[in-house]
């Protein structure tokens, strides 16, 4: 992001904390190095990858191996920066082997990487817990390595590979995460939508939110947007064309945004974020971090009943594995759960604002950035 005076980029800089790299970025670096060695016989060290927002970090290889049976393995140690991430220091490996032409890129879970066993996640049951964005990053880099180093012997099979991602001690580390409760068994998830770990510090982040509001007000902005992450930020830019200095990186701190705007109001606030996170706000939680608040499926079931769901559907929602699963159940039944959550989240935000002259609307999105619910402005 450019060196803006305000907005999300300025907030990130203002925290003074060192960012790190996601497990998805580390797996991409490992797979890129391994596939390069499979084609050329040599491991690039360090290996440079391109992240979704254009950053090009270089990763030093911690391990590498080229075997006689046509496999290459490389691994990098995850650096989470100043974030207290449980996977900081974990060794993320990727083993690559060629597949027959037309196979595409196939992903496998190695030791320490979990497998999805319950519905309601962005992956099918039985799939390795390697999320969609890291998968796409690895596909893109496999294609780039193929273009750079050519097809072996003039054949057409290069780029058709199996990538097995593993994390040393990942199954043990995963016990400190929500994976077992979500039905991801056997290890960690390979995550990340930007490749960057944004360092987490309550005081620094709340201070950066206040700075963002101050800058927006000084610039005369009448409409600001509080976003939970980069995907929701893209959504509000597409919806409203807001400039960078009108964007607040709310993260998990919904309460910090609302309480500061209560004392320093702007004319309009759009809150945009993932459906599950904003369902927590709708239920009255002002800290949306997974360690301090969880999706209340019973609350969602109650909303669905008010939106026309029958008792049987409400019971299914209450028993759903995740908020996404509840949303999918309602979508199939024609119950607008996303809109119901957006309206409830807007009303909760207005209650925190306590009559401050701020109109609020809420947009709920899914992981891909598709709008799944919205409210009209109120207040």
Q: What does each of the 379 residues of the chain score in pLDDT, given as a tens digit?
A: 334 455 555 555 666 677 889 999 999 999 999 999 999 999 999 999 999 989 999 999 999 999 989 999 999 999 988 776 788 899 999 999 999 988 999 999 999 999 999 877 788 999 999 999 999 999 999 999 999 886 544 434 468 999 999 999 999 999 988 788 778 999 999 998 888 876 665 666 787 788 889 888 988 999 999 999 889 999 999 999 999 889 998 989 999 999 999 999 999 999 999 999 999 999 999 988 776 788 999 999 999 999 999 999 999 999 999 999 999 999 999 999 999 999 999 999 999 999 999 999 999 999 889 999 999 999 8
Give me the pLDDT at residue 35, please.
Answer: 95
202-218 and 7-15 helices, crossing angle to 10°: 140
The pLDDT value recorded for residue 192 is 86
pLDDT of residue 1: 37
Q: Please state, in angstroms and rounded to a whole number, the distance separating the CA atoms of residues 104 and 138.
A: 12
pLDDT at 272: 98
**43-49 contact pairs (CB < 8 A, 24+):** 43/72, 43/74, 47/74, 47/76, 49/25, 49/137, 49/141, 49/195
- Look-up: residue for tokens 């030093």? 60
Cα 307 to chain centroid distance, Å, stands at 29
Rg (CA), the chain: 22
Model pLDDT, residue 223: 97
Task: Count CB neighbours of 202 within 10 A.
Answer: 12
What pLDDT was estimated at residue 293? 82
The angle subtended at Cα 263 by Cα 261 and Cα 268, nearest 5°, is 35
Both tokens assigned to 203: 């005081």
Q: Where are the alpha helices (DSSP H) in 319-372?
A: 323-333, 337-353
- 303, 340 in Cβ contact below 8 A? yes
Q: Give the contacts of 89 (CB within 8 A, at least 6 positions apart).
A: 77, 78, 79
Q: What is the pLDDT of residue 282?
A: 97
Q: Which of 342, 337, 341 is nearest to 314 (CA)?
A: 337
- Which residues does residue 164 pair with via DSSP β-bridges, in sequence order? 95, 108
**Does the CA dihedral 342-247-378-290 come out positive or negative?**
positive
Which pLDDT does position 154 carry in this prediction?
Answer: 41
How high is the pLDDT of residue 204? 66
SS3 25: helix
How many C-beta atoms surround the C-beta of residue 218 within 10 A? 11
| Length, in residues, of the chain | 379
CB 78 within 8 A of CB 23: yes
Nearest alpha-carbon partner for 59 in 24, 106, 95, 87: 24
CA 181 – CA 192 distance, rounded (Å): 20
């Amino acid at each position: 992001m450019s060196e803006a005076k305000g907005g999300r980029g300025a907030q990130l800089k203002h925290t003074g904390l060192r960012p790190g790299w996601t497990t998805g970025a580390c797996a991409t670096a490992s797979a890129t190095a391994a596939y390069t060695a499979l084609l050329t016989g040599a491991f690039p060290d360090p290996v440079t990858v391109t992240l979704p927002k254009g950053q090009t970090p270089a990763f030093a290889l911690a391990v590498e191996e080229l075997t006689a049976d046509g496999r290459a393995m490389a691994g990098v140690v995850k650096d989470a920066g100043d974030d207290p991430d449980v996977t900081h220091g974990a060794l993320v490996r990727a083993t690559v082997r060629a597949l027959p032409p037309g196979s595409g890129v196939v992903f496998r879970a190695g030791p320490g990487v979990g497998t999805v066993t319950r519905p309601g996640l962005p992956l099918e049951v039985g799939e390795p817990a390697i999320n969609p964005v890291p998968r796409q990053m690895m596909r893109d880099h496999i294609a780039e390595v193929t273009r750079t180093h050519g097809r072996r012997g003039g054949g057409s099979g290069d780029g058709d590979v199996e990538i097995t991602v593993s994390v040393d001690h990942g199954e043990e580390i995963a016990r400190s995460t929500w994976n077992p409760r979500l039905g991801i068994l056997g290890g960690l998830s390979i995550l990340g939508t930007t490749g960057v770990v944004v360092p987490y510090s309550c005081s620094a982040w709340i201070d950066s939110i206040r700075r963002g509001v101050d800058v927006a007000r000084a610039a005369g902005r009448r409409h600001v947007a509080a976003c939970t992450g980069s995907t929701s930020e893209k959504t509000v830019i597409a919806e409203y064309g807001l400039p960078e200095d009108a964007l607040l990186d709310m993260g998990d701190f919904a309460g910090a945004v609302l309480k500061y705007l209560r004392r320093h109001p702007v004319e309009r606030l759009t809150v945009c974020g993932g459906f599950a996170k904003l369902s927590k706000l709708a239920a009255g939680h002002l800290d949306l971090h997974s360690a301090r608040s969880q999706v209340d499926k019973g609350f969602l079931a109650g909303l669905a009943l008010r939106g026309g769901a029958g008792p049987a559907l409400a019971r299914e929602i209450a028993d759903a594995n995740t908020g996404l699963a509840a949303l999918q159940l309602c979508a199939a039944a024609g119950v607008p759960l996303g809109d119901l959550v957006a309206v409830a989240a807007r009303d909760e935000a207005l209650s925190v604002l306590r009559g401050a002259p701020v109109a609020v609307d809420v947009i709920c999105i899914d992981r891909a950035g598709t709008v799944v619910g919205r409210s009209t402005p109120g207040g």
